[in-house]
Amino acid sequence: MRSALAVACCAALAGCGRAAPVEDAAVPADDLAVPTPPAGDGGAGAIFAGVAFSGCDDVEQPDGGPPRCTGSAPLSLTLVALGPDGVTSWYWTLPGASPSSSPHPTPTATWPLPGRYGISLVVGGPQGQASAAAEVRVLAVGTGAACSDDRQCAVDAGARCLCEGDGGCPGALAPGLCTRDCTGGGCAPGELCVDLSRAASGDPPDGGSWRRAICLPACAVDADCRAGFACRDLPALATGEPAGGRYEWRPGCFAPVLAADGAPCVDAAGRLAPTGCLGGLCVALGARGLCSSPCDSLPCPSPTVCATFAFAPARPFCLPRCDAQHPCGDPLLACSLPGGPGAYGFTVPTSEPIGATYCAPRRCAADSDCAPAGHCAVPDAGPDAGSCTP
């Protein structure tokens, strides 16, 4: 949370002098020159100038020098000119910012790129003129932060601003995402290499740049994540694995742009849409389909279990657990015990608790049991094996 108005003043009878060039400034030294505003009438009396900031993460005044405002890129600040009554003119020089100068007493400016920037203020009035200097320090942001330019992301091998300018990133990804490609490894401690490449083939050519293996922050709770992101179970690749390789489900910060296992997955036209599922699989169960993940050789995320149905192909996939407090939410699905006759009978690992139930097609004897969302399919096994289908 950035601080409220933080004030540091520079006072002198004849002014505080020009802003000194700052080490490692992100602009040429010539840009630091202070233009001279229209002169006052030279009246007697003291005049001084000072600078106040609003929007900094931190403000300090080291060794009595110019005040320093620190924040993360892109850094937007409101600057406040301080001075005695009677000041009639103000001129700010704001290297690296937009705007780069201002004649207003309280301008708002944005520094998009990391660096150290010396800023200056000149005030004038009947008593003469005075000046003040300050420093704005803009820090690069880390993995998972919003961004609009690669250069805003932490200086690290391969750091980039995902979604920068391609216009194809949905939802909370649209503001950009600082990350690194990580197929084969490369994430820092506290990060996960998350595989978002599954079922990406259906994305439009200009909209799938985020569908890859990328580094994301690990987390324990939603509060660990930036606004618009949540702490979710994500398919984290094992070290050295390429995109599409073996993974385990681990909690990490990501936007809700891909649905978790158990969520519906049909599109507006009623077609199965696996590209919207985190696990890359959309199973034809219920009225709205069911996002899932294959589990013949890979684990299932919590709270799902690896289930095998009798219908072809008999490939196991992750099925959500359910109970009275956690209903299925689909009119054609119901909390069911494993086993049972017919094509929709299923099995789960023997390690599952006895009596546990899972979201599976609702059992039925007639269409009225499935109305109005579907009908009762009664296979050759007999009427006691009917299941609700769309």
Long-range contacts of 262-267 (CB under 8 A, 24+ apart): 262/290, 262/291, 262/292, 262/304, 262/319, 262/320, 262/359, 263/290, 263/291, 264/288, 264/289, 264/290, 264/291, 264/330, 265/289, 265/290, 265/291
Residue-wise pLDDT for 248-285, tens only, equals 999 999 999 999 999 999 988 889 999 889 998 999 99
Q: Which residues contact 303 (CB under 8 A, 6 or more apart)?
A: 320, 321, 326
pTM (whole model) above 0.75: yes
Residue-wise pLDDT for 183-218, tens only, equals 777 788 999 999 998 766 545 444 457 888 999 999
Residue-wise pLDDT for 10-48, tens only, equals 333 233 333 333 334 343 333 333 333 444 444 446 899
162 bridge partner residues: 177
**Domains of the chain by start residue, with CATH:** 6-139 (2.60.40.10), 150-254 (no CATH), 296-389 (no CATH)
Residue-wise pLDDT for 300-358, tens only, equals 998 999 999 887 556 899 999 999 999 999 999 999 999 876 667 899 999 999 999 99
Contact (Cβ atoms closer than 8 angstroms) between residue 308 and residue 347: yes
Please give the span between the terminal C-alpha atoms of the chain, in angstroms, as a whole number.
49
As given in the structure block, the two tokens for residue 299 are 């684990």
DSSP string, 148-180: SSGGGB-S-TT-EEETTTTS---GGGTT-EEE-
Query: Could you give the CA distance from residue 291 to residue 359 in angstroms, rounded to a whole number?
Result: 12
Contact (Cβ atoms closer than 8 angstroms) between residue 180 and residue 194: no
